[in-house]
Structure 1
Amino acid sequence: MARRADTRPRHQQIAASLRASIMSGDLAPGERLPTTQQLMERYEVTGQTVQRTLQVLKKEGFVFGRAGVGVFVRAEAPLAIQVASYLAPPLGDGAHPWMSRAGQRGQQGAAKLLAVMRVEPPKQVEEALGTDPGEEVVLRHQVLLLDDEPVELVWNYYPLHIADGTPLERRTRIRGGSPALLTGLGYPPREHVDRVCVRLATPEEFKALELPDDVPVLRTLRTVYSDDALPVEVSILVKGGHRYELVYQSTIG
């Protein structure tokens, strides 16, 4: 069976190769890229094709130029997100892990609440929460920011028997995030199941996350369970695929 040829424009093919080298660490943060002439020779292309390649990577935030010096790999590596790290509530009166981890990287993390309302949930959320068709749940929709740049969209859904009359229904920030509040309500998060897929962004996601062209998103459907395997929160998380690495850790034996 014949293999399918890569029909993408040549500059996109080269950008994909350089992008992979950056994400793997072969091109380290702060490292200078080969010169235009070197890239022309390596990939057997014109200078115009090289410039189009670099424009793609600059727009995606992988590289930046210094006038008269060259083009360099961005200073920060892709954000490594350990998927279980947001389950536990912060200690004491601490900040939500999203904020504290951003601070550890020397960045400013923030969450902007976009909407709080009762809705009929999407089918996947309905099934995960075990609610009846047409039954309303509470939705908290927000965007997460790093240094004032939008990096993740979040839709959090809660069954009414948990959220009714609680701060989950109020358009206000929840100190420590939902894990802390759920714990205080008697529903401590015990485990979660993630379903992750990669797809192109919807128009809403593309605009809200200010994505470069043709960048896929990571879409996570997360179901959080409390005691007795009771589903207490279902989240849809959407982030630009060029900004994140997901880290899964488990113990063997």
Structure 2
Amino acid sequence: MEGQAVWTATVPCMAERKSRAQQIADDLRGAIRSGAYGAGDRLPTRAELAKRYDVASATIAAAIDQLRADGLVEGITGSGVYVRAHRPVLRSARNRLSRDERAAGRGAFTTDAHTGGWTPRSEVTVRTGPAGEQIAELLDIAPTEQVLIRDRVMYADDDVVQLATSYLPLAIATPEMAVPDTGPGGLYARLEEAGHPLTRYEETVRAGRADHDEAAALATTPGTTVFRLVRVASTAECPVEVNRITMLAERFELYYDLPAR
């Protein structure tokens, strides 16, 4: 407008702010998720991708490293880089914790398996120890109070998909809760049988990157994207269990079916 100064700011678009490796990783990720590269398919060679995108081979290597960290691809020495062939594990926040499932003899993880049509398996270690500050706060007990600790490495078919550690006040634990196999319906069924009817579950989910210990246990590479979940199970009176779970993000779909209020 005449008589007014006009100023136009030029702001770089998101793509311009991203590194070239990130742009290429995003492009390849989209191709994998659209099905252009299916499970078990080999990606073009590093040289072919470098020519296609007109970048250095090191840039392609960095892009592939991002896909590998996301768990989308795996390298086979002397053969190439392949799209990982995994079915996602559907995790329904409502159904997996229901009494109906426990009555059918299924715990949370075995409910996921029943829904998805895969075979569940867990390697379980049971121990006791002091709660510590973080767990004590969630359980509303003293940090020095003893808790029953159940460590699990959990498999879908032959693949490790998650790690889980449960903490229960030792004062309410029964012998059936202190063995690797807690029986039909799992730990929550045993809690209710022992006189602790569950009325509430609270879950917090955060995304992160697997550290070296987690990566080793999950048979993946450090830096792979994971979901870290903390669930607190409570009766009407108090919390009775804390479960800390680390899940391979690329193996899970988190499903929520919530009533509108």
For Structure 1 versus Structure 2, the TM-score category normalised by the shorter chain is 0.7 to 0.9
- After superposing the two structures, state which structure 1 stretch, 242-251 or 75-84, moved more: 75-84
Do 1:110 and 1:144's aligned partners in 2 also have CA atoms closer than 8 Å?
Answer: yes
* 1:173-210 Cα distance to aligned partner (Å, 9 max, x none): 43321122122122232221112222232332121111
Do 1:217 and 1:239's aligned partners in 2 also have CA atoms closer than 8 Å?
Answer: yes
Aligned mate of 1:224, from 211, 233, 238: 233
Q: Match of 1:237?
A: 245
Gaps of 5+ in 1: none
Please report how far the alpha carbon of residue 250 of structure 1 lies from its aligned counterpart in structure 2 after TM superposition.
1.2
* 1:130-156 Cα distance to aligned partner (Å, 9 max, x none): 101311111111111112221111110
Secondary structure of the residue aligned to 2:258 is coil
Give the whole-Å Cα distance in 2 for the aligned partners of 1:206 and 1:72.
Answer: 20
Secondary structure of the residue aligned to 2:25 is helix
Aligned mate of 2:109, from 98, 103, 126: 98
Do 1:27 and 1:73's aligned partners in 2 also have CA atoms closer than 8 Å?
Answer: no
Give the whole-Å Cα distance in 2 for the aligned partners of 1:122 and 1:86.
Answer: 29
Change (3 A) 1:195 1:28: farther
Q: Match of 1:129?
A: 139
Give the whole-Å Cα distance in 1 for the aligned partners of 2:209 and 2:75.
Answer: 28
Q: Match of 2:153?
A: 143
The aligned length equals 243
| Residues 1:207 and 2:216 are matched in the alignment | yes
Do 2:21 and 2:63's aligned partners in 1 also have CA atoms closer than 8 Å?
Answer: yes
Please report how far the alpha carbon of residue 217 of structure 1 lies from its aligned counterpart in structure 2 after TM superposition.
2.1
Do 1:215 and 1:242's aligned partners in 2 also have CA atoms closer than 8 Å?
Answer: no
- TM-score, normalisation: structure 2: 0.74
| Residues 1:111 and 2:117 are matched in the alignment | no
Q: Match of 2:168?
A: 158
What are the within-5 Å matches in structure 2 for residues 6-155 of structure 1?
Answer: 6=18, 10-11=20-21, 13-19=23-29, 22=32, 25-27=33-35, 30=38, 39-40=49-50, 43-46=53-56, 49-50=59-60, 53-54=63-64, 57=67, 61-63=71-73, 73-89=83-99, 90-92=101-103, 94-113=105-124, 115-155=125-165
Give the whole-Å Cα distance in 1 for the aligned partners of 2:133 and 2:31.
Answer: 39
Change (3 A) 1:52 1:195: closer
Give the whole-Å Cα distance in 1 for the aligned partners of 2:96 and 2:234.
Answer: 13
Larger of the two Rg values belongs to structure: 2
Give the whole-Å Cα distance in 1 for the aligned partners of 2:48 and 2:259.
Answer: 45
Do 1:137 and 1:158's aligned partners in 2 also have CA atoms closer than 8 Å?
Answer: yes
Give the whole-Å Cα distance in 2 for the aligned partners of 1:109 and 1:123.
Answer: 32
Do 2:107 and 2:185's aligned partners in 1 also have CA atoms closer than 8 Å?
Answer: yes
Letter in 1 for 2:123: K
- Counting aligned pairs with the same residue, the percent is 29
Do 2:233 and 2:239's aligned partners in 1 also have CA atoms closer than 8 Å?
Answer: yes
Give the whole-Å Cα distance in 2 for the aligned partners of 1:215 and 1:58.
Answer: 7
Do 2:113 and 2:120's aligned partners in 1 also have CA atoms closer than 8 Å?
Answer: yes
Secondary structure of the residue aligned to 1:242 is helix
Change (3 A) 1:39 1:80: farther
Give the whole-Å Cα distance in 2 for the aligned partners of 1:220 and 1:109.
Answer: 19
Change (3 A) 1:85 1:125: farther
Gaps of 5+ in 2: 1-8
* 1:68-90 Cα distance to aligned partner (Å, 9 max, x none): xx987555453332223332243
Do 1:29 and 1:75's aligned partners in 2 also have CA atoms closer than 8 Å?
Answer: no
* 1:214-248 Cα distance to aligned partner (Å, 9 max, x none): 2132111110112x252111110011223223223
